[in-house]
Amino acid sequence: MRRLLLALPFALLPLAVAHAAVEHDHDHDEHGSLSAHEHGVGRLNAALDGQTLELELESPAMNLVGFEHAATTDADKAKVAAVRAQLEKPLVLFNLPKAAGCVVATQELESPLFGDKPDTDDHDEDDHEAAKDGHEHHHDHSEIHAHYQLSCSAPGALKTLDLANIFNTFPATQKIQVQLISPSGQQGVEVTAKAAALKF
What ranges do the domains of the chain cover? 40-199
> Residue 1 burial by CB count (10 A; 0-12/13-18/19+): exposed, middle or buried?
exposed
- The β-bridge relationship of strands 41-49 and 175-182 is parallel
54 near 148, Cβ under 8 Å? Answer: yes
The CA distances from residue 25 to 33, 37, 148, 186, in Å, are 9, 9, 26, 22
- For residue 34, what are the contacts with CB-CB under 8 A and spacing of at least 6? 22, 26
User: Which one-letter amino acid corresponds to residue 101?
Assistant: G
Computed on alpha carbons and rounded to an integer, the radius of gyration of the chain in Å comes to 19
User: Which one-letter amino acid corresponds to residue 153?
Assistant: S
pLDDT 10s per residue in the chain (200 long)? 334 333 434 444 444 444 434 333 333 333 333 456 789 999 999 999 999 999 999 999 999 999 999 999 999 999 999 999 999 999 999 999 999 999 999 999 999 999 876 544 444 333 333 334 443 334 567 999 999 999 999 999 999 999 999 999 999 999 999 999 999 899 999 999 999 999 98
Identify the H or E element spanning 22. Answer: helix 2-28
